[in-house]
Structure 1
Amino acid sequence: MKLFLKTSIIALITVFCHASWGQAIQDDEISVLNQFQDAPNSGERFDIFFNSMDRYNVNSAYDWLDTIKIYLSNSQTTNDSIALGQYKMMQAQIYNDLGDYDKSIALAKELYAAKDSMNRTSIKIVLDVLDDNYANLQLYDKQIEIRKEKREIGITENVAFYDIYSNLGLHRKARNQYIMEVKPTIADNDSYGLAEYHSKVGNYLRLDNSAPTAMSELKKAKAYLDVFINDISKEKTEQQLFDADLLKAEIEGNIGKCHVLLGEYEEAIPLLESSIEVLKSSPSNGHQSEVIENTLNLADANLQLEQFRDAKKSLDIEFDNINALQDIKRNSLLAAFYDRVENYQNAATYYKRNERIKDSLNQKQSSLIKQQLVTIVANEDLENSQRLIDEQKRINELARSEMKAKDERINLVFISLIFTLLGFAGLVYAYLKSIKNQRLIAEQKHIIENALVEKDSLLKEIHHRVKNNLQMVSSLLSLQTKNTRSKSAIEALEEGKSRVKAMALIHQKLYQNDDLSVIEMQGYIESLINSVQSVYKKGGHNISITIDAEGTELDIDRAIPFGLILNELVSNSFKYAFPENDENGKIYIHLRKNGEQGYFEYTDNGVGLPEDTEERTHSSMGIRLMNRLVNQLQSKLNIDKAGEGVRFWFNFS
């Protein structure tokens, strides 16, 4: 009976809290905590908690902590050990997010003691929480032990130290190890991986006070990230886009900090502000620390520009989990602010506060940590070196044994071998030379293949940018059309817009193709006709269009004039060929290319050309344009207006 009452009370409290929080949430933003509470079981709640991009979007970490405590109590009451472990993992992560690292470590250690009953995903989460807690507490020896544990149980293959080196101020060593370990693992076409790589290298350079070089690396990172974001050929998940936004904000924030180091304060401010705004949405402690750093640099930039109100606004923000070095920097900026506004009493207060903080930092303990870390890393390097030495010894011993046996065999057959020694030496020399040549050929082939891949990638990017620029021109023509009242001017702008779209389609087809040298014309003609129909919304939709160009491919030098010619012909058919009714309208397009010779024919069954076609040839821009384009194809445009409709044709090479 008591158990039933206790369970009922907990359930009522849960429902009440759910209702209260639900009323407080705005309609335009979905609360992850509400989704968490609506989940039917602990397993789904576990997935929502650890897979959500921004679990604190509406509710704070304290709201989450209160809710999870209720579920934890309920699990204890029902003796659900699996749910109990899952809720404790969530608690450990929340304590880590709140900066209560001791509680987080205690919970994570308790969970890891029962690792035999945990799956691989849960073990990784617990070890990651411990790793992050030890990093924040500067217990780097413990952090390395956790990373070794990850390697031993197969979660990671290598133990990385570069972030620990950086935390100790050894930024150059961190950069060198990061380049050595990470660069070989990134593919040439992995634009997001390259963006992360150059961002990290640039940040290590910035921390090492190499701001100009850091700026160059960070701009490379931003360029690679732009390629990733703008690559429409690859679908991206919501999580990938969220991560890309965070990485972009991180890069822009670091570029802004480089501007501050270089004294370029006006350039720094907008970058730091936009970075802070985006990084606030991340639940990661690393990003929250970046928010603090960016805010302090923003205050510094405003202070240098004597924008005292904006500087003080940034310095008055109260941050959780601000570390001692950040606190010292904040106090220094506050003291400088009060110096500038001639409030010397407050300035002195912050100078004294900094002195107290510095005195409280135990330098001996810091030195001990560094010494302990260096010893551990040295031991790790020694272990790796010893393994290499032992392996080399084994290989050398094997080689000696084989050589000894070979010497014995050589002695036995020395007389017979002496007669063939010169010939054998010649064969060995030729063989070694052949291997060397093959190796050189393979290396050159690899270099050429990489160069071709890079060239194709650059060409696709160029065609993509040209297409985007042509689309921008088309948009500008559309805007001009809306601001123009003259009917003839509007028609001229629409025609120009249609021609620009025809050229843009060529470049779109090129960067979508694997082969950048030719365009498959059947698909291009279909896309072009759809584009023209979108311009002439009131006509052309009931016309029967037959396209006979299957298997025909043209290079870009022929495809562009051909596309413009076809654009003129289809536009004229839509506008003039069927003035009364286009239900029985027919258009036939024929294109063939056999070897060096090609043939094009276009017919419609409309009203045909007017009687004064010959006179209008010299005044009509469309016909003059087609004649010039056909001349580019080294041919002559033929027009047949006898019979029903009209027929255009020409041969080309």
Structure 2
Amino acid sequence: MIKKICCKIKCALIVLFLTGACVFAQDSLSTEENLLKKFQDAENANGRYFFFFDTLNRYNENSAYDWLDAVNIYHNNSYKINDSSAIRQYKLIQSQLYHDIGDYDKSIAITKELYTEINKLDLETKERLLNIMDNAYSKLELYDKQIEIREEKRHLGLTSDVAFYDIYSNLGLHRKAMEDYIVEVKKTISEDDHYGLAEYNNNVGNFLRLDRSAPTAFPYFKKALSYIDLYLIDITEEKTEREVARGNLLKGIIEGNIGKCHVQLKEYEEALPFLEKSIESINENHEGVYSEDVIENTLNLVDCHLQLKNYKLAKEYLDQELRITNVAHIIKKNRLLALYYDMIEDYKNASFYLKKNVKIADSVDLTTPKLKRQQLAAVAEKQMEISRSMINQQKLEMEKTRNELASKDEKMSLVFISLIFTLLGFAGLVFAYLKSIKNQRLIAKQKHIIENSLVEKDSLLKEIHHRVKNNLQMVSSLLSLQTKNTRSKAAIEALEEGKSRVKAMALIHQKLYQNDDLSVIEMQGYIESLINSVQSVYKKGGHNINITIDTEGVELDIDRAIPFGLILNELVSNSFKYAFPDGDENGKIYIHLRKNDDQGYFEYTDNGVGLPEDTDERANSSMGIRLMNRLVNQLQSTLNIDKTVDGVRFWFNFK
């Protein structure tokens, strides 16, 4: 009897479960009044076109492939009834869908067809078409084509100028890209445009991160995060749903960049929360769209977990379907898989993925340098062509102005006076012309000789600086070898200090032979490189210190740059070693350098523990202070030291 009752109860539970499942399925179907369904319910092609491009997160419930299947049906039907306007609209939707999937070749193939009929499109549709082509050519690394599209945008009045900075960055010239970006964009952003300021600081920081200058990039990313938070919490200005999503997407990208900086500095624990939040935010606000940021952040997450020995989590991320198309990402994923299998002692699989990378690297090495040179040459030629076009246009405008002025002058001048002066001047002009031809030939010949001599001199100077740098690096290597064979802690410290000073001098000569102008060194870039070099010596400190470098536009010759480099090397090394014994979380260093005509000023401060009370007594026995005093004397000045409540301040004037 009890068994029968139990059986009945089980049957009732099963029926109840199945009924609930059916109800849930019906509820799901009832909520399936989704975006794709609304798209299909639109009255005509025009309605579907505007609905598609005005809809946020259209891939929340249906993937881009589902949308593509639906659009293909409408596109084929438009061909059957020969509706040319609808055909163009559905083609543009198809190109955007292929772009969102990551199939950039297919997207470009469709947009090329539309581009042949661009004159038949309205301005808004032209802008959408050109933006899709611009982005797709960038992903395919066809930068000469990308510039042509940007020229077309300028021609149509959609943009005021043709930008090159992102292309230079894609070609690996991140510093040049940053300099061009700052010049072109900074002046266009107002102080109350929080979104624009966030985007600007994020882009500058990203150029620095790509240039392997993570410590210098951090302040820009922190400012970008502050600005985007201000933008999102600002209730004084009403925002659309699209604008809020755009702000959250940018915040996710900024957090991802911060995480990648931490990975560069091998701060894996600190990187994890930023990378995880970034992936979640980008997926939430850009769902269904192929995103290289998500791929990069995921691969960096894998790297962190492997370094932290979280093998299970690392493998879960590696097993995700990322739809990688970029060769660099494929190589990085294979490297991480090889590292994972090596760590779990599965050497067969580790060897398999390493061999895959070798094959990819071999094929890439054969084509990439030549292709990059061709792309760089094409970009440079395009930039020169655009510059020439702008100069010619200015010349035409000036010529037109001159012609108008000449016409007025002719009316006001007297014919007879002009004729007399013309006759008198003609003989003089002929004589001067003949003489000038002779002089020009002589000048041209001398100029040619001087130019050849200068080129030869520059080449020799660069070679000398290169060899000096190599010799100093050899000295640094010898000091490193001596350090390994020395047991005395004091001796090791002295050798490390000596090695740091040699590196500072080597860096001067490296900057010189890399410069076009061999007479001076740009101090901003040199100081950043020097700080990175010092941080590599003192691995335990310096990464969390907020370093502000205020030397923009200052250039010094080698006689002043070497003493400055050695002085700064001593100051930064002392700050990393002694200024923050309890941790450098709130550490700050400020470096200020100005040069006006014949007068200069240098100042260095930190907010550490400051100098000991017996500094004056120890000055004569301290190698560092004696060295700095002698170097300042070389600059014809005197080193001043101010002990402050928070830290210490070094300063001096120089000529």
Q: Give the TM-score range, shorter chain.
A: 0.5 to 0.7
User: Aligned partners of 2:114, 2:199: CA distance in 1, in Å?
Assistant: 33
Residue aligning to 1:208 = 211
Measured after TM superposition, the shift of residue 78 of structure 1 is 2.5
Measured after TM superposition, the shift of residue 134 of structure 1 is 1.5
Residue aligning to 2:190 = 187
8 A Cα contact 2:59 2:287, kept in partner = no
User: Aligned partners of 2:322, 2:359: CA distance in 1, in Å?
Assistant: 20
**AA in 2 matched with 1:78:** I
Measured after TM superposition, the shift of residue 390 of structure 1 is 7.8
**AA in 2 matched with 1:213:** T
User: Aligned partners of 1:238, 1:77: CA distance in 2, in Å?
Assistant: 38
- Give percent identity, aligned residues only: 48
8 A Cα contact 2:175 2:208, kept in partner = yes
**Where does 1:565-576 land on structure 2 (aligned, <5 Å)?**
none
8 A Cα contact 1:61 1:94, kept in partner = yes
Residue of 276, 297, 301 corresponding to 1:298: 301
Residue aligning to 2:37 = 34
Residue of 84, 88, 93 corresponding to 1:85: 88
Measured after TM superposition, the shift of residue 236 of structure 1 is 1.2
Match of 2:284, SS? coil
Greater C-alpha Rg: 1
8 A Cα contact 1:25 1:58, kept in partner = no
Residue of 225, 228, 231 corresponding to 1:228: 231
**AA in 2 matched with 1:125:** R
User: Aligned partners of 1:124, 1:111: CA distance in 2, in Å?
Assistant: 12
Q: Check 1:390–1:49 CA distance in 2 against 1; reply closer, same or farther (3 A cut).
A: closer
Match of 1:376, SS? helix
Residue aligning to 2:338 = 335
User: Aligned partners of 1:44, 1:275: CA distance in 2, in Å?
Assistant: 34
Pairs aligned (count)? 387
**AA in 2 matched with 1:113:** T
Measured after TM superposition, the shift of residue 141 of structure 1 is 1.3
Residue aligning to 1:161 = 164
Measured after TM superposition, the shift of residue 101 of structure 1 is 2.4
Q: Check 1:25–1:103 CA distance in 2 against 1; reply closer, same or farther (3 A cut).
A: farther
Measured after TM superposition, the shift of residue 377 of structure 1 is 2.6
Measured after TM superposition, the shift of residue 294 of structure 1 is 0.1
User: Aligned partners of 2:236, 2:133: CA distance in 1, in Å?
Assistant: 39
Kindly report the root-mean-square deviation, in angstroms, between the aligned alpha carbons of the 2 structures.
Answer: 3.0
Measured after TM superposition, the shift of residue 186 of structure 1 is 0.3
Q: Deviations over 1:307-361 (max 9, x none)?
A: 1111111112121143110010111111111121111111111110100111222
Is 1:144 the counterpart of 2:138 in the alignment?
A: no
Q: TM-score, normalised by structure 1?
A: 0.55
User: Aligned partners of 1:201, 1:266: CA distance in 2, in Å?
Assistant: 25
**AA in 2 matched with 1:351:** L
User: Aligned partners of 1:246, 1:358: CA distance in 2, in Å?
Assistant: 33
Match of 1:131, SS? helix
Residue aligning to 1:606 = none
User: Aligned partners of 2:223, 2:191: CA distance in 1, in Å?
Assistant: 14
Q: TM-score, normalised by structure 2?
A: 0.55
Residue aligning to 1:533 = none
**AA in 2 matched with 1:44:** G
Q: Deviations over 1:36-62 (max 9, x none)?
A: 112222112111211212111110111
Structure possessing the higher relative contact order (Cα contacts under 8 Å, 6 or more residues apart): 2
Q: Which runs of 5+ in 1 are unaligned?
A: 1-21, 413-653
Q: Deviations over 1:253-296 (max 9, x none)?
A: 11011111111111110111111012123558987100000000
Q: Deviations over 1:185-210 (max 9, x none)?
A: 00011111101110111111111111
8 A Cα contact 1:282 1:288, kept in partner = no
Residue aligning to 1:116 = 119
8 A Cα contact 1:97 1:283, kept in partner = no
Is 1:197 the counterpart of 2:193 in the alignment?
A: no
Q: Deviations over 1:91-117 (max 9, x none)?
A: 111122222223222211111212222
Residue aligning to 1:453 = none
User: Aligned partners of 1:233, 1:145: CA distance in 2, in Å?
Assistant: 41
Measured after TM superposition, the shift of residue 392 of structure 1 is 7.2
8 A Cα contact 2:64 2:288, kept in partner = no
**Where does 1:401-550 land on structure 2 (aligned, <5 Å)?**
none
Is 1:268 the counterpart of 2:277 in the alignment?
A: no
Is 1:352 the counterpart of 2:355 in the alignment?
A: yes
User: Aligned partners of 1:135, 1:285: CA distance in 2, in Å?
Assistant: 20
Residue of 107, 114, 124 corresponding to 1:104: 107
User: Aligned partners of 1:182, 1:379: CA distance in 2, in Å?
Assistant: 20
User: Aligned partners of 1:55, 1:276: CA distance in 2, in Å?
Assistant: 18
Residue aligning to 1:219 = 222
**AA in 1 matched with 2:110:** L
Q: Deviations over 1:484-537 (max 9, x none)?
A: xxxxxxxxxxxxxxxxxxxxxxxxxxxxxxxxxxxxxxxxxxxxxxxxxxxxxx
Q: Which runs of 5+ in 2 are unaligned?
A: 1-24, 418-655
Is 1:247 the counterpart of 2:250 in the alignment?
A: yes
**Where does 1:610-625 land on structure 2 (aligned, <5 Å)?**
none
User: Aligned partners of 2:166, 2:31: CA distance in 1, in Å?
Assistant: 39
Q: Check 1:291–1:379 CA distance in 2 against 1; reply closer, same or farther (3 A cut).
A: closer
User: Aligned partners of 1:356, 1:293: CA distance in 2, in Å?
Assistant: 22
Q: Check 1:366–1:154 CA distance in 2 against 1; reply closer, same or farther (3 A cut).
A: farther
Match of 2:291, SS? helix
Residue of 367, 374, 377 corresponding to 1:374: 377
Q: Check 1:24–1:389 CA distance in 2 against 1; reply closer, same or farther (3 A cut).
A: same
